[in-house]
Amino acid sequence: MQQPAPVPHEEPSAQSADRTRSVSIFDVAKAAGVSHQTVSRVVNGSPKVRKATRDRVLEVIDELGYKPNRLARALAGGVVRSVTVLTSDTTLYGASLALRGIEEAARAAEFSVAISVLDASAPLTPDDVASRLARPGEPVLVIAFNASGERAWHALPQEFPAAAVVERPEDGRAGSRPEVWLDDRTAAAQATRYLLSLGHRTVHYMAIPSSTARVGQRSDGWRDALAAAGRSVPEPLEGGWSPRSGYLAARALVADPEVTAVLCGNDELALGALRAAREAGRDVPGDLSVVGFDDAPYAGYTHPALTTVRLDFEGLGRGAFGMLYRLLDPENAPLPPLWAEPELIVRESTGPAPGRSR
């Protein structure tokens, strides 16, 4: 909205002009009764702000005449630094942490972030994907941990500057555009070998959905380790994403006394397996060992505390933005940050196979 023209021959006071020039993010935060980080989230379009808080901050910004640097650049005819993130589900643990890492890195580089949530059932043609961007042709990051994210990544027109967080490629090589991933396959193999080292004759696997039509990389790692050890490879269970789906899938499995070790595709499935084991009268870890994946915040506080694979999703998100930033500004953007390798975190839910001692 344009400001009314000043009264002829009436100059604004020096005090008023100085006040406008000196308004800072901290002034806005104090007037709105929030932290300066909250003001920054509002300015950068983060979805992690309640509507009432967002409205209050925007009202104060308008009242004080605060102009963030990126708005000042836009008003001066400069380029608005922004990126659109395409993701199918912000509630999934890995996707939500990758998004957090992207937001942190983007904010540090003074980029705003827009988020477009993909509908799993919607067609994802190149035109459809392009229409989801906040501005035509702007940079894109895709979180492609599941099938809809993977389809969006492959449908995105090649001329768009873009990078993606993906499931580890089968051959371990990136495609023609920047991609980052965690080595789920090696991590799953490590977890499986650990269970075999405890004397378990084999390890059963409860899978999360893969981003591709084929078996996921965690399933492959589990299968690799069993085959290398010359052990039988049981048919994997399809577990879904949630504790409930894990519970329903695991009930018959964990009731079988011949089953002594289960690797789960994520910690939510492991929660369901622990519940099913309790109902079946199986002691964990005395009768049954359970391993999760991801190391969600609650994993160390379950009963028993969950052995799991720790994955650095936030670091992966920061790395994805870093690769996109280097693509956009190779002379000035810093090198993309590294993320931590997967790590097996041994807690209380695993132990020697029945009849074995450490």
Q: Is the pLDDT of residue 92 over 70?
A: yes
Q: Which two tokens stand for residue 69?
A: 């640097």
For residue 346, pLDDT beyond 80: yes
The more confidently predicted of residues 126 and 307 is 307
More confident residue, 21 or 33: 33
| Residue % of the chain over a pLDDT of 70 | 83
Q: What is the DSSP letter of 241?
A: S
User: What is the rounded distance in angstroms from the CA atom of residue 99 to the CA atom of residue 87?
Assistant: 9
What's the pLDDT tens digit per position in 66-75?
A: 766 544 444 3
pTM: 0.70
* pLDDT confidence bin for 80, thresholds 50/70/90: low
pLDDT band at 238 (very low <50, low <70, confident <90, very high): confident
Return the pLDDT at 90: 78
How large is the average pLDDT for residues 201-225? 80
Which pLDDT belongs to residue 68? 60
Sorted by sequence, the CB contacts under 8 Å of residue 60 that are 6+ apart come out as 28, 31, 32, 66
More confident residue, 308 or 182: 308
Cis status of the peptide bond prior to 304, with omega within 30 of 0? yes
What is the model's pLDDT at position 356?
Answer: 63
Residue 204 confidence (pLDDT) above 70: yes
Question: With 90 as the cut, is the pLDDT of residue 349 above it?
Answer: yes
Alpha helices in the chain (DSSP H): 14-22, 25-32, 36-43, 51-64, 69-75, 93-108, 126-131, 147-155, 184-197, 217-228, 243-254, 267-279, 313-328
pLDDT computed for residue 213 by the predictor: 41
| pLDDT tens-place string over residues 252-296 | 999 999 999 999 989 999 999 999 999 999 999 999 999 999 999
Give residue 237's pLDDT. 87
Q: How confident is the model at residue 13 (pLDDT cuts 50, 70, 90)?
A: very low
Distance between CA atoms of 25 and 300, rounded to whole angstroms?
38
Mean pLDDT of the chain: 81
Give the residue from 45, 324, 326 showing the smallest Cα distance to 160.
324
Instruction: Give the pLDDT score at 88.
Output: 79
- Give pLDDT, residue 9: 40
